Structure 1
Amino acid sequence: MHSMCQNVACLMPTVDSHHIELISKTLEIVEALRDSPDGLSLQQLAGQTGQVKSSIHRILRSLARHGYIDQDTRGAAYRLGVQFLVLAKGVRAASNLVELAQPHSRKLMATFNESTYIAVLRGGRGVFVDVQETRRDLRLIGPLGAQVQFHTTAAGKAMAAFFPEEKRRAVLRHLQAAAMGPRTSVEPERIEREWEVVRRVGYAVNDEKTIAGAVFVAGPVFDSVDLICGSISIGVPKSRYSGELRKRIIAALKECCGRINGALKAVEYIHENSFEDEGSRNASTAVRPMTADDIPAGLALCRASRWNQIEDDWRVFLESPGSGCFVAENERGVLGTAAFLRYDKLAWIALMLVDARERGSGAGTQLLEHVLAQLRDEGAAGLDATPAGEPLYRRHGFVKAHRLLRMKSKADRPRFKAGGAARPMAQADLPQVFARDREIFGADRSWLLQALFRRAPQCAWISTEGYCFGRPGHLYTQIGPIVAEREAGARDLASHSLFAQHGRPCVIDAPDSAPGWLSWLESAGFIEERPFIRMHRGAGAKPLSPRVYGIAGPEFG
């Protein structure tokens, strides 16, 4: 996997002396506004940046013309504009693990003048995908594409230690126990103990276990939902290795991995890796229909994942005609759930939850396949996926249709006007709301809207522009669906609904294709909490209407 080689070269540092003062000033202003979501005045910006107010004003005017700065009225505070969201989406689309990790791996190599390596998970296996070689005469190199051994190499142990429990069992069951060197450990109990140490200290060491005269130290890399996706390692000839160097490498390696993990979170990177490619599906996991007696187990999974559902939400799936839920369970109890609703022209999939300790075991796939088997005669199916779940759904034929943003805030009455044309919804209004919603959503969900009206009449408002509903939850009140002909109508409806929720945390799941609407939500104190991806499978699913300013939530579409 690695070998020694001789090569004479020198490593010359380079310094870029180019500097553009205007760009530096602009970035100072942008970073100050980034750290102040409520905005800053011209005077406050001058105080924070040390720049002259006239210069700041000219920069802000230029940024505002391109949509990068917002100011509600003359003299009001300046805030970052929604155009920065567009830039962020471009970064996310262009990013991958190696591109994001390479600069940090390169810096680690330069710090110690020793070769560094990036390994990633692919199809359930670890593979070396990048090497940053030192130019020293005696160095360690690693061939690209070499497979990582999870029980011997530092890079492999740094990944395997953080696998789900069932995946670790599968690795031990299928381990090729051929020793790679005289000091290689092949006993499953000892390997598990080594992984446990790695989990505790946060790094792995391979001291001459695979190559005589070579020491490797590796740290784990996690994607934006904290699932293991790779590792960074550094190789040092034994002749240069010492206790003091070991301490310095471990500290630098942890900092390096932390920066990579932060970069992956910033771009919402989700690593695609199917552990099931190695046959790790857990044969002891059984899937069966959910009953009302299983609701406490479903709620426990919700609480563990910080989801918002309460018992009434689960009962919608259990009690609605043609709908249902499944649970996956093993000897330890319920470890996952999946649910579906049947609207007349569309099936909706939701509440796909798997215990964090069982992710990667195949339980999620088993649950989804049971749901899809129930819906095999439906023309179209839809769901709102978390970024972590998107790869699973894509493998089962779902395609991305829209992106949604969960916007969260504590409802504060002074931020919302109680006037406008909206009025409380009455029972007599429901037939016209049902008809309008059928046209906009593309399927009949009148029984759901009736249930929302019954559960939270204070959240239900109507106007000539549209309508709005809401429902209470464990963590916050979900406001939606919000449907209006124009953005002004949506603001009016949402303001009335939020006004009634004074002091309670609220969320609105909004399409990211409405920058003006998102800007208004931000001005009202909402911040982006997480994204969702609306996905469809099969013909007949209607695209999200531009008249939808807030969905009913990922559970209901």
Structure 2
Amino acid sequence: MKRDVTVDATETTFRILEMLKELDGAGVTELATRLDIPKSTVHNHLVTLRKNEYVVKHGTTYRVGLQFLEFGEHTRNRMKIYDIARPEVEGLAEETGELSNFLVEEHGLGAYLCRARGDRAVRVDTYAGMRVHLHCTGLGKAMLAHMPEARVSEILDRRGLEPRTETTITDRDTLYEALAAIRERGYAIDHGERLSGLRCVAAPITDDADNAVGAVSVSGPSSRMKGEQLEKDISELVMSAANVIELNMSHS
């Protein structure tokens, strides 16, 4: 099989942008040190990015520019499922008072398309556009449970099972058992597997072939998300929202 050919200079540009995001801004010297790239190379890439308005400069510090937001909004707004899911996400947040989320998969990672906060919602690190590993979130596990086995294996080979907390599933067999249980009961639970103390109930959104195209969830502190409220009340609300999204997708 012929290997894809990549452009080294372009890959360097993306490495610089990713590091700028990770550091929330940096100067030439810090970027060069972190990435092990000559300062002159880093400088040339930053000058080019700034000229094309993809980074901004304050003093000696460069940051990712707002033009990326325009790209993200363009991408999100062209997705039919976003417009269909958003009212249900907002309704879940209002009804439960907690944080509700909608996630899709791309390149083996989950990407949050939208979120809504109820009047009791806790503040967490997620935001629209953020990408997360699938194995450590309720949303991601709900989607993995409704993907072809070969696709799940491909994602795990590429992305691994990185531990995020003490409860993260890091063994394939254990994960496969969890996915089978999710398929049987219709929803997934995240027991603080990405963020300690945060519990989540998520339901998959599937197409006519029962393949996942997204997932919707409600998240809240473990002190509130427990017992019958978690296993019955919230799970039924989340599955109902997923069902509405599926129906609207089929008839839109």
Shared fold, TM over 0.5: yes
Structure-2 separation of matches of 1:198 and 1:213: 21
Structure-1 separation of matches of 2:185 and 2:140: 15
Please name the residue that 1:229 is paired with: 213
Q: Would you say 1:265 and 2:239 are equivalent positions?
A: no
Instruction: Give the structure, 1 or 2, with the largest relative contact order (CA under 8 Å, sep 6 or more).
Output: 2
Please name the residue that 2:153 is paired with: 169
Given candidates 131, 139, 143, the residue that maps to 1:155 is: 139
Secondary structure at the counterpart of residue 144 of structure 1: coil
Return the structure number with greater strand share: 1
Measured against aligned partners, the alpha-carbon deviations of 1:58-101 in whole angstroms (never above 9, x if no partner) come to xxxxxxxxxxxxxxxxxxxxxxxxxxxxxxxxxxxx87001001
* 8 A Cα contact 2:97 2:121, kept in partner: no
* 8 A Cα contact 1:140 1:237, kept in partner: no
Please name the residue that 2:48 is paired with: none
Structure-1 separation of matches of 2:211 and 2:112: 18
Shift of 1:239: 2.0
Structure-2 separation of matches of 1:256 and 1:137: 18
* 8 A Cα contact 1:131 1:141, kept in partner: no
* 8 A Cα contact 2:198 2:220, kept in partner: yes
Measured against aligned partners, the alpha-carbon deviations of 1:509-543 in whole angstroms (never above 9, x if no partner) come to xxxxxxxxxxxxxxxxxxxxxxxxxxxxxxxxxxx
Shift of 1:240: 1.6
Please name the residue that 2:240 is paired with: 255
Please name the residue that 2:60 is paired with: none
Shift of 1:230: 0.6
Structure-2 separation of matches of 1:121 and 1:99: 17
Please name the residue that 1:208 is paired with: 192
Structure-1 separation of matches of 2:122 and 2:138: 20
Given candidates 172, 194, 203, the residue that maps to 1:188 is: 172
When the two chains are superposed, the root-mean-square deviation of aligned CA atoms in Å is 1.9
Please name the residue that 2:127 is paired with: 143
Structure 1 residues 123 and 183: alpha-carbon distance in aligned structure 2, compared to 1, 3 A threshold: closer
Secondary structure at the counterpart of residue 223 of structure 2: helix
Equivalent positions of 1:530-541 (< 5 A) are none
Please name the residue that 2:226 is paired with: 242
Please name the residue that 1:102 is paired with: 86
Shift of 1:253: 0.9
Measured against aligned partners, the alpha-carbon deviations of 1:242-280 in whole angstroms (never above 9, x if no partner) come to 31211100111111111110000001xxxxxxxxxxxxx
Give the aligned residue type for 2:250.
K
* 8 A Cα contact 2:112 2:128, kept in partner: yes
Shift of 1:143: 1.6
* 8 A Cα contact 2:167 2:191, kept in partner: no
Calculate the TM-score normalised by the size of structure 1: 0.30
Secondary structure at the counterpart of residue 182 of structure 2: helix
Structure-2 separation of matches of 1:202 and 1:137: 24
Structure-2 separation of matches of 1:193 and 1:225: 22
* 8 A Cα contact 1:155 1:219, kept in partner: yes
Shift of 1:195: 0.9
* 8 A Cα contact 1:218 1:253, kept in partner: yes
Give the aligned residue type for 1:122.
E
* 8 A Cα contact 2:108 2:159, kept in partner: no
Structure-2 separation of matches of 1:135 and 1:141: 18
Equivalent positions of 1:75-90 (< 5 A) are none
Please name the residue that 1:116 is paired with: 100
Structure-2 separation of matches of 1:124 and 1:141: 20
Shift of 1:113: 0.7
Structure 1 residues 112 and 243: alpha-carbon distance in aligned structure 2, compared to 1, 3 A threshold: same
Could you list the runs of 5+ residues in structure 2 that have no partner in the other structure? 1-77
Measured against aligned partners, the alpha-carbon deviations of 1:219-247 in whole angstroms (never above 9, x if no partner) come to 00123554311100111111222312111
Structure-2 separation of matches of 1:220 and 1:137: 22
Structure 1 residues 248 and 122: alpha-carbon distance in aligned structure 2, compared to 1, 3 A threshold: same
Structure-2 separation of matches of 1:191 and 1:199: 12
Structure 1 residues 135 and 185: alpha-carbon distance in aligned structure 2, compared to 1, 3 A threshold: same
Secondary structure at the counterpart of residue 179 of structure 1: coil
Please identify runs of 4+ aligned residues in structure 1 that moved more than 3 A. 137-141, 223-226
Give the aligned residue type for 2:109.
R
Secondary structure at the counterpart of residue 240 of structure 2: helix
Shift of 1:146: 1.8
* 8 A Cα contact 1:220 1:232, kept in partner: yes
Structure-2 separation of matches of 1:137 and 1:233: 13
Structure 1 residues 183 and 125: alpha-carbon distance in aligned structure 2, compared to 1, 3 A threshold: closer
Secondary structure at the counterpart of residue 99 of structure 1: helix
Calculate the TM-score normalised by the size of structure 2: 0.64
Give the aligned residue type for 1:252.
L
Instruction: Give the number of the structure whose alpha-carbon radius of gyration is greater.
Output: 1
Q: Mean Cα displacement is larger for which, 104-113 or 121-130?
A: 121-130
Structure 1 residues 189 and 137: alpha-carbon distance in aligned structure 2, compared to 1, 3 A threshold: closer
Structure 1 residues 194 and 137: alpha-carbon distance in aligned structure 2, compared to 1, 3 A threshold: closer
* 8 A Cα contact 1:225 1:265, kept in partner: no
